[in-house]
Structures are given as C-alpha cells and as structure tokens.
Amino acid sequence: MKHVGRALPRLDDSVHLEGRGRFVADIDIPRQLHMRVVRSNVACAKLINVDMSEAYHVPGVVAILTAEEVSHLRPLGVRLAPAPALDRFLQPVLASTMVRYVGEPVAAVFAESAAAAEDAAELVGLELAPLEAQTVPRAVEANPADPLRGNAAASVTKSFGDLNAAFHEADRIVEVHVTWARDAAMPMETRGIVADWDDARGVLSVWGPGRAAHWNRDALAAMLDLPRSAVVWRTPHVGGGFGAKGELASEDILACYGARLLERPVKWVEDRREHMIAAGQARDIRATARAAIDSSARLLALDVDVVIDQGAYVRAEGTMVADLVAAMLPGPYRMDALRAEAHLRLTNKTPAGTFRGAGRAEAAYIRERLMDEIAHRTGIDPMEVRRRNLIEPGAMPFERGTEALGCRVTLDSGRYQSLVDQTTRRFSLDVIRRRAQHRRAQGELVGVGAAFVVDASAPAGYEHVKLTVDRRGTVEVITGAVEEGQGLVTLLAQIVADIVGVDYASVRVTTGETVRIPFAAGSQLARSSVMVGTAAQHAAETLREKILSAAAAMLSIPAEKLTIQAGRIKQADRHFGTILDLGDLAAAMEPGRTMRTGPRGAGLEAEGFVTTSMMTAPYGLVVAVTEIDKDTGFIRVPEVYVGYDVGNAINPGLVEAQIVGGVVQGMASALSTTLGVTESGDPLRVNFADFALPTAREAPTVHVMLVEDSPSPANVLGVKGAADGGLTGMAPAVAAAIDDAIGIPGFVHHLPLTPSDIIQQLRARKPITFEAAAE
Amino acid sequence: MRAAAFDYHAPQTIDEALKILARHGVESRILAGGQSLVPAMTARHARPAHIIDINRIGQAERPTISGGRLRIPPLMRHIDFAGGAVDGPLGLLMADLSHHVSTLPVRLRGTFCGAIAQAEPASEWCLASVVLGAEMVARSAGRGGRAIEAADFFETIQTTALADDEMLVEVQIPLLPAYARHGFYEVTPRAGSFALAMALVVYDEDEDEMSDVRLGIGAVEAVPRRIPEAEALLNHRPPSKRLFREVSEAVADLVQPMDDEFADPVWRRALTRTAVARALERSLRRPLDSAERP
Ligand SMILES: Cc1cc2nc3c(=O)[nH]c(=O)nc-3n(C[C@H](O)[C@H](O)[C@H](O)COP(=O)(O)OP(=O)(O)OC[C@H]3O[C@@H](n4cnc5c(N)ncnc54)[C@H](O)[C@@H]3O)c2cc1C
C-alpha cells in the first residue's frame, strides 16, 4: 500500500478525541513546587520596592524570587534574526528598576500547591511610581518616561533596482495607508513547563512545548552554566502553537532556575489571562505603500514603509517579523525596484512575538490592498491587474532579490497564472461574482474579494532524522521537530512507511526529545514537512538499503532480488512467501553474541541529514465572500475558496486541514480578534468573553482545491510547507470583499473592521479618514 | 485562576440554606449553576468566605403551575425550558429564549433563578421576567418571604433588590392566554456571547389587532425595561411594516444606551432599532417557527 499522496487519518486522532493526550499540565512529579509569577499591573512605572513579607506568611510558600536573586541571569537572547544592537531592548528575566507593560514578571513565588502560590502572589506588594505609558509607536524620539532606551529598536531594509528611476518613469503612482491592530495566536493549551533538577546526576530535565527543543536546551545550559549534556528537554503533547508558544520566556527560565536552586521539581502552567497579557503578541502594524506603475498597470516599483509596534521588549524572535514583512512584500509580482523598510518601535505593551503567517500575512495585506487600489485607480479588474503582474513559470526559480532570515528569497517553482485559471474554473468564480452583483442590485450588501499570496517556507537550514528497527519489526522515527497538531507524526510515518515497506500505523514517531537526537532546528515557518520529511526520506532510503543488504548476506540471495512488504522481506518476483521478518533481521543485527549480520555493533538503524539552501514558496489564491447586515453592521464570511499549490502533498487531508484552520484564523484576525490597550496601557481583553474567537457558527465554509502543478526543486520530495496557507491571504481577501459589498474601493484600510465602523460608514456614506481609523 | 479559599456548605433544604446565609450575610454567596459565580471567583473578582451550594436541595428542579402562574424553582436550569416547560404560548416563548442563553455547556448548568439573581443587563431571563410581569419570591431566615415585582427587582448592573440574607426561592410568571404571540430578537456578535441588544414583544391576537401589548428591551440599558410609549403605539392597531418601523425608531430614540467596550452608544442605538424591528417581525411567524433555534 502506498501512503504518500493519500489523505490518511492522523495517527494521533484517537488519542486526542478520547482525551488521552498528555500535555504539560498533565505532568506531575513527586515533591514538585508550583510557580506563580507576580506581574506588573501598570504599563509603565518605576519599580521602587517589592514587599514579600505578607506573602511569606501564606502556608506552603517555599521561596519568592525577585530581580535581586536572578540578577546574574542574562536577559533572554534572540534566537531568530539576532543582532547585537538589540541587546539593550531584551527582556530581563524579572523587572528590576522599571516595569514596561502590564503583565511583566516582577517576582516568582514557589509554593507547595498552585493555590498557595496564587494566594501568595496576590499578596506580594509592588511599590510602583507610575509614569506616562506610551501606547502608540512614535517616531524615533525616546519615550520621555523611559529615555535611556529610545523607541527605535531596529529597522530592516530590503531593496533592489533603481527606485528613483522607476518612480520617475512611472505613468502613475498609487498609494495606500493601512493598519492592522494587535492580535495573538490563541492556542487551546497555554504555555507551561515542568523542570526537575537531579542534583545527584547533575541533570536538569524539562518538559515543555518547545518548537525548538534543541535551541532551548542549549540556551538553558548557557544560562544556568551547565554543559549541554546536563539539560534534557522533552516535548509532551502540544495543544497548538501557532507561533505563540515554544520560545523560551522568562517564566521558563524562572522555573528551571527555581528547580535547581530549591532542589525541587517546579511546575508552571500559564492561565488564560496571563496568556493574553504575557505571551508574545503580533501584527500591530501601520504601513504606507506606494506603487509606481506603467500605463498598462504593470508594477515598476514598490516603496513601502512599515512600523511594527514591538511592545516593551525584543524577545527570542528578534527582528524576524520585520525581516519577513520587508522581504516578502514583492510577493508573486514582477517589478524592477523595491524599497521596503520595516521599523520595530517600542511601546508599553506586551512584547510582540510571532503568530502564524508571521510577516507574510502582514506583507500580503499591504501588497494586496495596494493591488486592489491599482485596480481601482486604473479601472482594470482586480484579478486582471494581478494576472498581468504575476511572474511567469518560465522565470522559475525566480530570485526575488531580497533575503529573509539570512536566506535568499527564491520563488522555487510556480505556475501562478495557471493557478488563477484553475481556481476560477473549479469554483466558477465568475458565477460567484455575478451572483454577488445580482444580490447587490437587489439592495443586499454582498461582496467578493481576492488575494494572491506567496509564502516562504523552510528557509535554509538543516535537519536530522534517525530511524531504528527493534526485534518486533517496529520502525521508530526520531526527530527533534515537534508535533503541535499539524500532523507531523502522521506524515513522517507515511514517508518512511512507503520507502521501508511497512504499514504507516506501525511506525512510531518520537518528537522533540533532545536525548534521542543531538541536533535539530525544530518546527516553525512551515518547515517541518519539508525539512524533516526530506531527512526522513534520506534516512528511510539508507535503512532500506541496509535491510536488503543484510538480508541478502543472511539468506545468500542477491539484494536486487529482495523486497520489503508490510514489514516482511520477500523475494521480489514471488507473490507469496515471507523469507524473513523485519524484526528477526533486526534481532540478528543487534550487537552481542547473537549478532549474525550487519555492520558490527550498530544494530538496524539509519540516519538522514538534510541541509538546504533554497526555501520553498507555496502559493495560492484566496477568495472570500462577505455579507453585511445593513442594520447591525455585522460582517459574515459565508464562503471562502482557496486554490493552493504546496508542490507534492504528502497527505492532502492534512494540507487541507491546515488551510481550513488558517482561513478561520485569518478571518478572525481580520474581523474580530484584537488585543488593544487603553490609553494608560491596560489590556482591554483578558478572557474569551472579550476576545471574540469565532465559533463554528461564524466559521465560513471553506472550499479547497489543492494543485500539485509545481513540485519544489528544492527537495527530493518536491514538497512546500503548508502551515500558513489559507491564513496569509484572508485579511486582504476579506478587506476587498467588504469594499466590494459596500461599493467603496479602498474603504477597508484598518483591520479588524468592526460592525460599528460599517454602520458609521453606511450612515455617513463617506470614507473614514486614515487618522480616524488608526486610533 | 484559582478561587481564593472559602468554606463550603452543602445544605439539604432551603431553610438550612437560609440559616447559613443569615449567619454569614455579605460574606457568603449561594452557588447554583456556578456559570457566573465560578468565573468571577477564579478571576478573584468575587471572594466569598462562604459558599452555600444549593445543588443538593431536593425538589427544586421541576416547575409547577398553580394559580395561573408558572412557578420556577431555584434549580431549574436554562436547558429545562428548551423542550417547553409549560404548554401553550408561555412555554413556546421560554423555549425560544432558552436557545439564546449562551452555549450548551452553560445551559446545562446555569439556572433561571441564578440568572435573575445575577442581573446581567443582557440576560434573556431578566428581560422576560420584566416583560411578562414576573414576581420574585425572596425569603430570609429572619423575615420570612416577600414577593418583589420584576419591575422593581433589578436595580442596576448585577444589582437586585435581594438583601444579603435573602435567597430567591421562586420566580412566578403569569401564564399567557392561548391567543398570545411573542417575538424575540437579539443581536449577538457571535454564538454564545452576551447580546448587545435584545427585544421581546408579547401581545394578544385580537381579531386583526394587537392588544395587551408588552414590549421590552434588554442589553441596552443597565436593566431591562418595558417601553410604554412603544406599547401605546402598538396597542389596538393591526401589525404592519410601517407601524413596526415607526415603533422601532421610537424605541431607538427613547433609550439611553450603555457605553462599554463591546458597543458605543451610537451603534447600540442602531442595534436596538434592529432588535425591536426584528422582534416585531418575528411575532408574525407561526408560533412553531418562533421557537426555532437561532
Ligand atoms: C460563556 C458564558 C456565556 C454566557 N452567556 C449568557 C447569555 O447569553 N445570557 C445569559 O442570560 N447568561 C449568560 N451567561 C450566564 C449564565 O446564564 C449563568 O448561568 C447565569 O447568569 C447564572 O446562573 P447560575 O445558576 O449559573 O448562577 P451562579 O453562577 O451559581 O450564581 C450567580 C449569582 O447568583 C446568585 N444566586 C444564584 N442562585 C441564587 C438564588 N436562588 N438566590 C439568590 N441568589 C442566587 C449567586 O450567589 C451569584 O451571586 C453566560 C455565562 C458564561 C460562562
């Protein structure tokens, strides 16, 4: 049975459906202490004193740490896109003299029970002298309340071509101003960690939802002054990440440090309110974008300025988002010149991290709003404007002329025009547009909008996969990447099963355990299936060769005459008859006195490594239909159509699931979920009553067409990452569909757009100004 | 997200509950379905020293009918109204509204009386009790029972006429005549969220005209209330699109909408107009339709 290319069920579905998952919160260790973080409740203030006297009276309290006790711990470093200039903006483990956002850790309480820790944390007295909070990213001048740091943390510029010449030659210049409010990934499982210091052996064992288990291991080792081999990171089940989870944060450091200091295991599980004020947030951008176009609406150049509200500190993600926004702005279109600048500005808000589609969603929103504006200004159909500018298949692989995360942006392969045609045909998009027109003529507010997106997945890097076979014939795949619900376990099993010749359900996949594999880059930026999949493919090929040659030696039959089916070694030209079970062969290859075949001392195992220099660029067309209730202003997105090319889809069911999930998340980001603060910097939304995640009732029906037209030349499997598909195009598609519904091109330049904005607009029938919308 | 420490009491009878309540007064809170109280406690907004869990009190789950009234006991849950707790138009009305109270998990646990005691501006039951002229029966260990008219019961957001030592032991709602109709509409940003505006209209179908019209709005002001001006406009008139539009405009002009982070007053006024107009339209549907799920 062939597994690759089929929509096979996920191997871990039943575990989760039956509630048998074992997440961080499910892990308990005898003698463990519970940690509770005391957080600032003021956005900007001088920290004068931390009074712990009352808190220590709570029965069960063992220790309370403040900045004084952890002053020797360096601030958390930057993992992605580091730069030395960022050092002074890094977040300290605990605030010492200033607090800079509501939610900033000031102290950590360790107690015998979670309840005691929470009781005591409440009694820790923070003496704060509030200063004026800065909640809008201003230009370069420093925050008067916090003058030592300045506001401009970093700027990233990407450019190519002669911008001035292009704008000089232009037939027309089209400009948009767009903003997108703060939002955050909201995984069902919040952050958490369990740390256990074994003083006798000198080993720190950590259980945490790390997307980069190995980096976390190394960072912890460095921070706690331990050799790498003294830190063991294990990744239990992960209830979704979406970018909000998995980077080391202050809380993780405190738990690990506390475990070592107190010689007791420490458990920390974030609650939802904490997640909404302390975990990394995202988006919060404001951009000005100008396009120089010729007389036939072809792009000559883009000139874009993006300000990203980074919040109070720079965290492990560094300038990653700024880097990706700028690098991915040109997207799928040809142009002669680019200048894209992204500025990270500091404010007194929760620090920004990443959220699914990081950088690419922002870039798509800015660029596609600009494409719609070009269509409006030139009177050409929006899809036609895009089609004219799409890079042709003959130009692939196409050097974009920018770099993202230190890797050249190369559009590896793609038949963009063909995707537009196929999607249009498959979903009868013309009929859908006509139907909307017809309904508008009847007085309804219905619109259709589209966005073309290119994602960046799996930029340069490496991966390593190990395979072992035991005496039962069970194949184990070991990877440092993690299963976060995206289906990694299943697709690795599918790849390995086909090559080795076993059923995928019998393949065990071990993820995110640093003791089982020495190095790994982890899961982010839609890289797991591409990188780990490729490494698994290499490892499986090596394993297959080893199996066949060892069997050949044992049986004295030439290897070419043997094959493996359903875990049994057979003669290739015979239909029936097993000659050797895989388990028996593995047993025969185990080191020791019974060893009968194979290389000495190794057992039946294989490894696969991959390093790539070319990223993959999945792409798609996202078309959203919106309906607006004239009386209430509510915006519904009843249908979304997505045509998407991920190269070869290892498991089309998983890819589709990623796209559907991305669409819903993207819609939420465009219409409802936002994490604003008041003027004084107090968070407006700290629970799920206020933070309006869509329910099944609000979720659109998502129609997905997967196209496998352009396998990636960047890896042997021909795959491209699928994790962000669906999400990246939703904001601009929904924005365009709203414009269409109410008949005002360019109306939507701020997201999320609220029903109240719509009502005001319908009343006034005049576009609201940029300044008004940005407040 | 763990509640502050408290003493837990699980009385078996209402009298026992009242005694504990009398002993601890403001320091104590009754725990019914826990769907408002428990979240408030885990966020430590509420920190009662004593919890009086009334879920073990017997005979407090089934409604009774006597004296032309539906009598709702303290442990009747939102879900218990879904299948029609009483025959006739009142049962249909209550079933209709029950589908709008939050989501299934909350409906399975939360109680009618708990919602009345909680007095959220956006509570469907609070609006219904005001529009239908309910009487709240309060009892304390020291002073015995008293009845409070719905119109006098809700004082402001989450504040009622109940004294610290009083428990709501019953809510009585007059049955509706066989020819009564109702229309209900609420505007919610998403399934299961508190509404931003809601309207309930009840009237008797009298030949071609509407009579004994009662119309109330909820989620718009701090407490639900009837709008006599609208009722006067509708009474003894045949339903018509024009009339409904006129009434919804009138109500929207009359209300003083709240300003909170979910809706500014301008938008809420627009939503009020919509809720009233749509509630009136819905009242014309066949009764079975009006009990359909949202
Ligand atoms: C996500 C969510 C969404 C919701 N959406 C809605 C909605 O759309 N509409 C809506 O109406 N409600 C909504 N609610 C609230 C829900 O209806 C509650 O169930 C109800 O408000 C309280 O009933 P309870 O039985 O759970 O009371 P509890 O939470 O147990 O108690 C609430 C308060 O009432 C007091 N109390 C309870 N019973 C009595 C009594 N017999 N005598 C005196 N005092 C008493 C308690 O002491 C407490 O102060 C929602 C709740 C949640 C969690």
Highest mean pLDDT among A466-470, A573-577, A590-594: A466-470
Of A730, A580, A593, A709, the residue nearest A646 (C-alpha): A709
CB contact under 8 A, B270 and A759: yes
Task: Place A438 in a pLDDT band, splitting at 50, 70 and 90.
Answer: very high
Query: Pocket residues for ligand 1 (CB within 6 Å)?
Result: A 689; B 29-37, 39, 74, 101-102, 106, 110-111, 113-115, 117-118, 120, 122-125, 162, 167-168, 192, 194
For residues A372 and B260, give the distance between their C-alpha atoms in angstroms, rounded to a whole number. 35
The number of residues in chain A equals 775
Pocket test for ligand 1, best of B96, B98, B102, B154 (most atoms within 8 A of CB): B102
- Which phi-psi region, left, alpha or beta, contains residue B278 (left: φ > 0; alpha: ψ -120 to 50)? alpha
Are the beta carbons of A24 and A269 closer than 8 angstroms?
A: yes
pLDDT of residue B191: 84
Least confident span in A421-425, A589-593, B288-292: B288-292
Q: How far apart are CA B42 and CA A647, in angstroms?
A: 48
Compute φ and ψ for A761, nearest 5 degrees: -65, -45
Q: Which of A115, A118, A756 sits opposite B263 (nearest CB)?
A: A756
Atom of ligand 1 nearest to the CA of B32: 30
CB atoms within 10 A of CB A609: 13
Quote the ipTM score: 0.91
Q: State the average pLDDT over residues A87-100.
A: 94
In testing the pocket of ligand 1, which one of B35, B97, B153 has its CB within 8 Å of the most ligand atoms?
B35
Residue B290 DSSP SS3: helix
Distance B283 CA to ligand 1 centre (A): 28
Distances from the Cα of A147 to the Cαs of A141, A144, A159, in angstroms? 9, 5, 32
What is the per-residue pLDDT across B50-109, written as a single tens digit (0 to 9) for each?
999 999 998 888 999 999 999 999 999 999 999 988 999 999 999 999 999 999 999 999
Chain A, nearest residue to B47 by Cα: A119
- What's the mean per-residue pLDDT of chain A? 92
- Check pLDDT > 50 for residue A768: no
Cα A762 from Cα A290, distance rounded (Å) = 28
Contact A632 B194 (CB under 8 A): no
Beta bridge partners of A706: A644
* Token pair in block for residue A350: 């929760």
Q: pLDDT at residue A770 above 60?
A: no
Res. A600: pLDDT tops 70: no
Write out pLDDT tens, residues B170-201.
999 999 999 999 999 999 988 889 999 999 99
CA A623-A625-A630 angle, to 5 degrees, is: 155
Nearest residue by C-alpha to atom 20 in ligand 1: B115
Nearest CA in chain A to B195: A689
Helix/strand/coil percentages in chain A, nearest 5: 30, 30, 40
Radius of gyration of chain A (CA): 27
Q: Considering only alpha carbons, which residue of chain B is nearest residue A678?
A: B261
* Amino acid occupying residue A763: R
Alpha helices for A88-155 (secondary structure H): 114-123
How many Å lie between the centroid of ligand 1 and the Cα of residue A269? 28
Which residues of chain B lie closer than 8 angstroms to A756, CB-CB? 263-264, 266-267
Whether residue B193 lies within 8 A of chain A, CB to CB, comes out as: yes
Give yes or no for a contact between A764 and A397, defined as CB atoms under 8 angstroms apart.
no
Nearest to A273 among B1, B193, B274 (CB): B1
Does residue B293 carry a pLDDT above 50?
Answer: no
Shortest CA distance to B291 belongs to which of B132, B184, B198? B184
Q: Is the pLDDT of residue A589 over 80?
A: yes
Give pLDDT tens digits for A284-329. Answer: 999 999 999 999 999 999 999 999 999 999 988 889 999 999 999 9
Structure-derived torsion over alpha carbons of residues B105, B106, B108, B112, reported in degrees to the nearest 10: -170
What pLDDT shows up at residue A522? Answer: 67
User: Residue with the nearest Cα to atom 51 of ligand 1?
Assistant: B35
The pTM for the full model equals 0.94
The per-residue pLDDT for A574 is 80
* Category of B21 on φ-ψ map: left (φ > 0), alpha (ψ -120 to 50) or beta: alpha
Unique residue bearing structure tokens 């997105």? A637
Ligand 1 geometric centre to CA of B39 (Å): 10
Q: Chain A residue with minimal CA distance to B274?
A: A631
Chain A residues lying within 8 Å of B262, measured CB to CB: 690
Whole-angstrom distance, CA of residue A232 vs CA of residue A224: 13
Please report which confidence band the pLDDT of residue A576 belongs to, taking 50, 70 and 90 as the band edges. Answer: confident
Find the residue in A nearest to B43 (Cα).
A273
- For residue A140, name the pLDDT band (cuts at 50, 70, 90): low
Q: Give dist(CA A566, CA A570) in Å, integer.
A: 10
CB-based contact, A639 to chain B, within 8 Å: no
Asked if residue A416 lies in contact with residue A452, where contact means CB atoms within 8 angstroms, the answer is: yes
Q: Closest Cα partner for A454 from A492, A509, A413?
A: A413
Q: What is the pLDDT of residue A293?
A: 98
Give me the DSSP letters along A248-299. Answer: --HHHHHHHHHHHHHTS-EEEE--HHHHHHHS-BEEEEEEEEEEEE-TTS-E
Residue nearest to atom 13 of ligand 1 (CA): B102
Per-residue pLDDT for A169 more than 80?
yes
Q: Between A407 and A41, name the one with better pLDDT.
A: A41
Would an 8 Å CB–CB cutoff place A764 in contact with chain B?
no
pLDDT at position A577 = 73
Q: How close is the Cα of B44 to the center of ligand 1, in Å?
A: 16
Question: Per-residue pLDDT averaged across B29-34, rounded?
Answer: 98
Q: How many cross-chain Cβ pairs, A to B, lie less than 8 Å apart?
A: 57
Percent of chain B with pLDDT over 90: 90
Q: What is the pLDDT of residue A724?
A: 85
In B, residues 125-184, which contact A (CB 8 Å cutoff)? Answer: none
- Greater confidence (A473 vs A141) lies with A473
Paired residues of A180 in beta bridges:
A285, A751
pLDDT in tens, A395-435: 999 999 999 888 889 999 999 999 999 999 999 999 999 99
Instruction: Output the CA torsion sign for A86, A92, A93, A99.
Output: negative
The three state secondary structure string of A208-229 is: CCCCCHHHHHHHHHHHCCCCHH
The closest alpha carbon to A661, from A728, A732, A615, belongs to A728
Render B217-257 in DSSP notation, one character per residue.
EESSSSS-EE-HHHHHHHTTB---HHHHHHHHHHHHHH---
Q: Do B192 and A690 touch (CB under 8 A)?
A: no
**How much distance in Å is there from the Cα of A99 to the middle of ligand 1?**
37
Q: Using only C-alpha atoms, what is the Rg of chain B? A: 19
Please, what sign has the CA dihedral across residues B37, B38, B41, B43?
A: negative
DSSP strand pairing (A192-198 vs A507-511): unpaired
Phi-psi region of B44 (alpha: psi -120 to 50; beta: other; left: phi over 0): left
The answer to whether B274 contacts A698, with C-beta atoms less than 8 Å apart, is no
Q: Does B277 touch chain A (CB under 8 A)?
A: yes
pLDDT average, residue stretch A375-391? 97
Quickly count: other Cβ atoms within 10 Å of residue A139's Cβ: 9
Residue B49 near chain A (CB below 8 Å): no
Q: How far is CA A282 from CA A341, A362, A682, in A?
A: 18, 10, 17
Q: So what's the pLDDT on residue B294?
A: 43
Cβ–Cβ < 8 Å for A537, A716? yes
Which tokens belong to A160? 């190519």
Instruction: From B36, B81, B167, give the residue whose CB has the most ligand 1 atoms within 8 Å, as the site to mutate.
Output: B36
For every residue of A529-567, DSSP letters joined together read IIIIHHHHHHHHHHHHHHHHHHHHHHHTS-GGGEEEETT
Determine the residue type at A30: P
List domains and CATH numbers for chain A: 26-133+190-238+245-278 (3.90.1170.50), 282-391+398-458+614-765 (3.30.365.10), 461-612 (3.30.365.10)
Q: What angle do CA A9, A14, A18 make, to 5 degrees?
A: 155
A720-753 residue pLDDT tens: 888 888 999 999 999 999 999 999 999 999 999 9
Alpha-carbon gap: A475 to the closest alpha carbon of chain B (Å): 43
As given in the structure block, the two tokens for residue B220 are 């718009």
What residue type is B149 in one-letter code? E
Range with lowest mean pLDDT among A157-166, A547-556, B266-275:
A547-556
Overall average pLDDT of the A576-599 stretch: 80
In the prediction, which pLDDT does A524 show?
A: 61
How far apart are the CA of B203 and the nearest CA of chain A, in angstroms? 25
Asked if B261 lies within 8 A of A695 by C-beta distance, the reply is no
Q: Residue A692: its pLDDT value, please?
A: 87
| B 25-44: CB under 8 A from A | 43-44
Q: In a 10 Å sphere around its CB, with 0-12 CB exposed, 13-18 middle and 19+ buried, how is residue A413 labelled?
A: buried
Q: Is the dihedral of CA B93, B98, B102, B103 positive or negative?
A: negative
At residue A595, the pLDDT reads: 63
Q: What is the pLDDT of residue A769?
A: 43
Search chain A and give the residue with CA nearest B194: A689
The answer to whether B105 faces chain A, any CB pair under 8 Å, is no
Query: CB-based contact (8 Å) between A48 and chain B?
Result: no
Residue A227 confidence (pLDDT): 96
Residue B43: its chain A contacts at CB < 8 A?
273, 687
d(CA A666, CA A661): 8
The ligand 1 atom nearest the CA atom of B29? 47
When pLDDT is cut at 50, 70 and 90, the band that residue A602 belongs to is confident
